[in-house]
Amino acid sequence: MEKILSKHFFNPEARRLSFYLQNDGYEAARKALTCMSPQEIIEEVMKSNLRGLGGAGFPTGRKWSFIPKDSPEPRYLVVNCDESEPGTFKDRHIIEWTPHTLLEGVMIASFAIGAHQCFVYARGEYVRYANILQTALEEAYRAGFFGKNIFGTGFDLDVMIHLGAGAYICGEESALLESLEGKKGWPRLKPPFPAVSGLFGRPTIINNTETISYVPVIIRNGGEWFSRLGSLKSGGMRLYSVSGHIRKPGVYELPLGTSLREIIYTYAEGMRNGRKLKAVIPGGSSTPVLTAQEIDVKMDFESLAAIGSMLGSAGVIVMDESACLVKALAVLGKFYQHESCGQCTPCREGTGWMTRILHRILTGRGVKGDLENLVRVANNIQGNTICALGDGAAMPMISFVTKFREEFESHIFHKRCTAVR
Amino acid sequence: MPTLTIDGQPITVSKGTTVIQAAEALGIYIPRYCYHPGLSIAGSCRMCLVEIEKAPRLEVACYSQAADGMVVHTITENVRLARRSVLEFLLSNHPLDCPVCDQSGECDLQNYYMEFGLYQSRFLENKIKRRKAYPIGPHVMLDNERCILCSRCVRFCDEVSKSHELGIVNRGERSEIALYEGRELNNAYSGNVIDICPVGALTERDFRFQCRVWYLNRTASICPGCARGCNIEIHYNVLRPYQSKGKRILRIKPRFNPAVNKWWICDEGRYGFRHIDASNRLRECEAQTADGVIPLGMETALKTAAAWIGESIEQHGKDSVGFFLSPELSNEDLYAILKLARHLGISKIDFRNPGEHPGFEDNFLIRGDKNPNRRGCVELGLYHRQRENGGWMAEEIKQGTLRMLVAFLQDLSLEPEFKAALVSLKRLIFVGSNSNATSEQAGLVLPSATYAEKNGSFTNFQGRAQRFERALVPLGDSLPENELIARIAAHFRMPEQPFEREQLLLDLRAEFPFFDQSTLDPPDVELAYQTTIAQREHA
């Protein structure tokens, strides 16, 4: 299978504009800007079945088509590079190793939606990689790929890279916009959705870094070509961030629909030290956990949804029999408690409550009823919050406790951990 | 104009109306913490979750806009569960110090718990400790442990007072209401954050530990602090004097009036009730004799007053007696005085608030004119009797043509001209509630009731004559001015009947069409600062 984004990962040369241009760089953008109309680009992206790869999986072409047409209002493109989902590190690789692919995607997407200003919002911790992207951007500016009158078409585009302060919540699109506007990163009430009223109250399209980075190849090779790479409803390829107790952690670019077993045992070369697989989180820490028996699932949006989980950001976290799942969940709980923005009640109070229960269980002070209470609190959060962070905190709680109940009960009733040391 | 159905009842509302407003119009009360009709929508407390058919999850009623064909359910099992869980979350880290909390009794955590909660606590963890009970401004105390972060106070300071003192700092469960660095909550409207705080996080420094709120009586009134005439409610405690160190009035709260003050009042008005129980209140009639000041019985005093007026008219003519009125008198008082003056043929009438300078004014509520009823004086024709030179009365006193003056409320000596003239006055009767330099010079002092102790109406600068009701029994022997006048009038063979309150109003309206056309706002009992019992019973 030919790689698209990861072809030149780990090759420092590939960051340079000269290298990128030798490999047909910015040709797709030239094609889009000179030979295609915005409408044609959007249709091509629709054909490709490209879906939002940040986690929600919303069809990208459809999202772009929501932007009001023939309106004199300025509109913006925002690239979400706030990759903060635990277990996910694909966007970092993109801006670290192939920043020009993202920039080319930005150019095409901006042209498609009629934006003349694009913001790339990178998380605060990515300062090193944002600098790489900045260097690439400056290189592209010098070569005349950005700024005024791109390719002599009269299309202007400016790109600004903005570093957040490192809050998980700022990856939520409306909180990201608030943060970009200089305010506290609190999610907004919806509707209106950003495509109608987003950044500074203007129509705004927010896409994940990976999503935008796949746009050039779609324009170059056609939407249908890309669509055929993946499964029926989820087009193309995807970067799977694989981490945990496996021999070869890393980012693997594979077609959507590759089975989880294949990812773990073929690409990541199986479990470490001959230990047995216990649990896998398939799509970043917010997605419901899978047991060892469930890994034959195809890694695409529909197949995972069918077994009650989510593809999310495709951050695969593999845990073997040495992992204490109570501890793992307590760590996750702590993360959500720390990262909840505090705006709405269920998430603000619930995440802390769940974490405290888990901490009690972990330190041998669990009591009968704790698990029921934990699940009840999680259920009370889920669906009642402003944004999806609450759901993201609740789903692992419910799935861990449901699927690995004995382990939790052992901690509560026998004060003993069942993990194999 | 979308038509929607809420709990089976159809209603047509204007575009942009939210579900919570539409429900309220139907008399369906949806519990809320962060929603306040006078502030922007936060949608953060999640208490107002309702079920909307075809929506995948529960929606907040405060933010969902009414749409045609929308079907809303506010009392399904899911909604009940959601309300209970939100309450449980809010109370999980709440200190539950109700026994020492001033909000107790008018707290929405208590109210909603009794209505929608009633669960056994399953919170076994340690509660988060936060900073408790510290002043954040001259009038407001903050208790971070009790706060539920509804952000009403933050939005009030951003949107209504536009002074931006408060914000929410930190993230997640460490979030707290805090002042911006170097700031203090000392804007002219700071007290309103206490009213809109649904819990005991923001409490009044002045009212702190004075009285349990369920011992308070409430009476609708009008703020006499300036020409705006904000609708207020007087909260007083007379049955349990031991509760509040003998103070009768304990606090003033705003009363909702969309045309005048909406939900708000300024701090000056809120704390402007001190004179009512002040130590300089005149409690009994006094007369100045060669032996000094001696107290008089009311009957004797009124008889003396009538005799003085009668004598002066008889011996020196009608123009030897003058009345000096005050724009702080109510419409009824002014009218009663005018009636008496007309009966006696007295035309030397002036009104003013001596020593007054245009006060602080803003473009929200506070007016520069600090008198509640200047417009009333004008509409009663008093303005036209005022001669061009403001000091004409002082001049006539100096010349000896004006020998006797009946002065109401004000301290005349604040005007240098008057101060010099008062010495040459033969007789001075002072009618007022509090003593001042003029009352000390007066030969006869008649104590009058304050606005909280009488019925009446003030006409605000917009021309709205707004009625206020008696909250307290007048202190000591004092009586409302119109009653004093009525009883003096009786000595001049004037029937007492036209001075009766309702008759007075009828006559007033018949004679001055202004008071007939203008909206004479009835004092209603709708409370602006909290949900009423009646509203809650609907839920």
Picking from A215, A182, A181, A177, the residue whose alpha carbon sits closest to that of residue A193 is A177
* DSSP letters spanning A103-160: HHHHHHHHHHHT-SEEEEEE-GGGHHHHHHHHHHHHHHHHTTSSEEEETTTTEEEEEE
Name the pTM for this structure.
0.93
Chain B residues with CB under 8 Å of A169 CB are 171
**pLDDT tens digits, A395-420:** 999 999 999 999 999 999 999 999 98
Report the pLDDT value the prediction gives residue B528, as an integer from 0 to 100.
31
- Kindly list the residues from chain A whose CB atom is less than 8 angstroms away from the CB atom of residue B60: 189
What is the rounded average pLDDT for all residues in chain B?
Answer: 90
SS3 of A398, please?
A: helix
Quick one: which of A109, A121, A221, A226 has its CA closest to A169? A121
Cβ separation A344–B44 shorter than 8 A = yes
Q: What is the DSSP letter of B530?
A: S
Comparing A305-319, B177-191, B271-285, B497-511, the range with the smallest average pLDDT is B497-511
Q: In chain A, what are the domains?
A: 5-229 (3.40.50.11540), 237-320 (3.10.20.600), 325-414 (1.20.1440.230)
Tell me phi and psi for residue A181, to 5 degrees: -80, -5
Tokens of B175: 């979030």
Mean pLDDT confidence for A158-187: 96
* SS3 state of residue B333: helix
Least Cα distance to A168 among A285, A277, A269 occurs for A285
Q: Is the pLDDT score of B420 beyond 90? A: no
Task: Give the chain B residue whose CA is nearest to the CA of A186.
Answer: B171
Q: What is the pLDDT of residue B515?
A: 80
Helix, strand or coil, per DSSP, at residue B23: helix
Answer for the pair A213, A4: CB distance below 8 angstroms, yes or no. Answer: no
In the chain, the amino acid numbered B378 is V
pLDDT digits over A290-330, tens only?
Answer: 999 999 999 999 999 999 999 999 999 999 999 999 999 99
Using the predicted structure, report yes or no on whether residue A129 has a pLDDT greater than 50. Answer: yes
Identify the pLDDT of residue B423. Answer: 87
- Taking 90 as the threshold, does the pLDDT of residue A60 lie above it? yes
What pLDDT is stored for residue B244 in this prediction?
A: 77
Q: B123 and chain A: CB distance < 8 Å anywhere?
A: yes
Q: Tokens 């018949």: give the residue.
A: B510
Q: Quick check: B241 pLDDT over 90?
A: no
Interchain proximity B89–A350, CB inside 8 Å? yes
Shortest Cα distance, chain B CAs vs residue A264, angstroms:
35
pLDDT at B389 over 60: no
pLDDT tops 80 at residue B526: no
pLDDT at B524 over 70: no
Instruction: Please give the residue that has the higher pLDDT: either B246 or A177.
Output: A177
Residue A167 contacts B, CB cutoff 8 Å: yes
Tokens coding B196: 């809109």
Q: Are A178 and A52 in contact (CB under 8 A)?
A: no
pLDDT score of B523: 47
Model confidence pLDDT, tens digit, residues A344-387: 999 999 999 999 999 999 999 999 999 999 999 999 999 999 99
- A168 Cβ under 8 Å from any chain B Cβ: no
Average of per-residue pLDDT across A4-15: 94
Residue of chain A minimizing CA distance to B64: A191
* Token digits of residue A186: 């609190």
- Cα separation of B177 and A55, whole Å? 33
- The confidence band for B390, taking pLDDT boundaries of 50, 70 and 90, is low
Residues sharing a CB contact under 8 Å with residue A39, sequence separation 6 or more, in sequence order: none
Mutate to test the interface with B, among A183, A186, A348 (most CBs of B within 10 A): A348
Q: Does residue B138 sit in helix, strand or coil?
A: coil
Q: Is the pLDDT of residue A145 over 70?
A: yes
Q: How far is A47 from chain B (nearest CA, A)?
A: 28
* Cβ contact, residue pair B57, A386, below 8 Å: no
- CB-CB under 8 Å, A386 with B85: no
- The answer to whether B60 and B46 are in contact (CB under 8 A) is yes
pLDDT at residue B384, as a whole number: 56
Q: Report yes or no: A384 at the B interface, CB cutoff 8 Å.
A: yes
- State percent of chain A over pLDDT 90: 95
Residue B385: pLDDT band with limits 50, 70, 90: low
Would the ipTM clear 0.85, i.e. be above it?
Answer: yes
Q: What is the pLDDT of residues B8-52, one digit of tens each?
A: 999 999 999 999 999 999 999 999 999 999 999 999 999 999 999
Task: Note whether B81 contacts A: Cβ–Cβ < 8 A.
Answer: yes
Closest CA to A57 of A190, A264, A207: A207
A346 Cβ under 8 Å from any chain B Cβ: yes
pLDDT at A47 over 80: yes
Separation CA A259–CA A226 (nearest Å): 19
Cβ-Cβ contacts under 8 Å, A340 against chain B: 171-173
- Is the N-terminal amide bond of A191 cis, ω within 30° of 0? yes
- Dist CA B258 CA B462 (whole Å): 13
